[in-house]
Amino acid sequence: MSEDAAEAAFRPHRRLFRLSTILGLLGVSGLAAFGRFQAAVALTLGAAVAIVSALWLAELVGRFKAPEQVAPARFDWKFGLKAVLRYAFVGLALWGALRVLPADVRWVVVGLSTVVAAVVVDGLRELLADRRSGTGAAQ
């Protein structure tokens, strides 16, 4: 994938990834403020894995867009290998995080949910903006 294509695939999701990072940092800051440093590390590891995985998924979905030129469909073995290796890396990163921090599994899971929380917050923000402007489906 060229750099221009990768940037084009990432551009619509930039706000979502920024919001995921902000939510993760808020959680880590709150835990660190209460002296729960091991939990803060677990949340950081979970959030980092979730954000990187979401970035990879955005790139993967961007690759499935219809090509501008009509070309015969073919299987790209490099693409398949990269997808398998990416998710193997995510699995190994999670396995390593849970081996290093076994008592803080719940904080790793909370970190993994930062992208989902960002999607929910972004959806609610758009819903409220649509209601204010009077263009939403709820009207």
DSSP class of 69: S
Query: Which tens digits make up the pLDDT trace of 102-137?
Result: 878 889 889 989 999 998 998 898 888 888 887 655
Q: Which amino acid, residue 67?
A: P
Closest CA to 106 of 9, 22, 31: 31
| Helix residue ranges, H only, 64-113 | 77-100, 105-112
Query: Which tens digits make up the pLDDT trace of 53-88?
Result: 888 887 777 776 666 666 665 667 777 788 788 888
Residue 138 is predicted with a pLDDT of: 52
CA 34 from centroid of its chain's CA atoms: 26
d(C-alpha 139, C-alpha 136), whole Å: 6
Q: Are the beta carbons of 46 and 76 closer than 8 angstroms?
A: no
DSSP class of 13: G
Cβ count near 75 (within 10 Å): 6
Q: Which amino acid, residue 75?
A: F
Q: What pTM does this model have?
A: 0.72
Cβ count near 103 (within 10 Å): 9
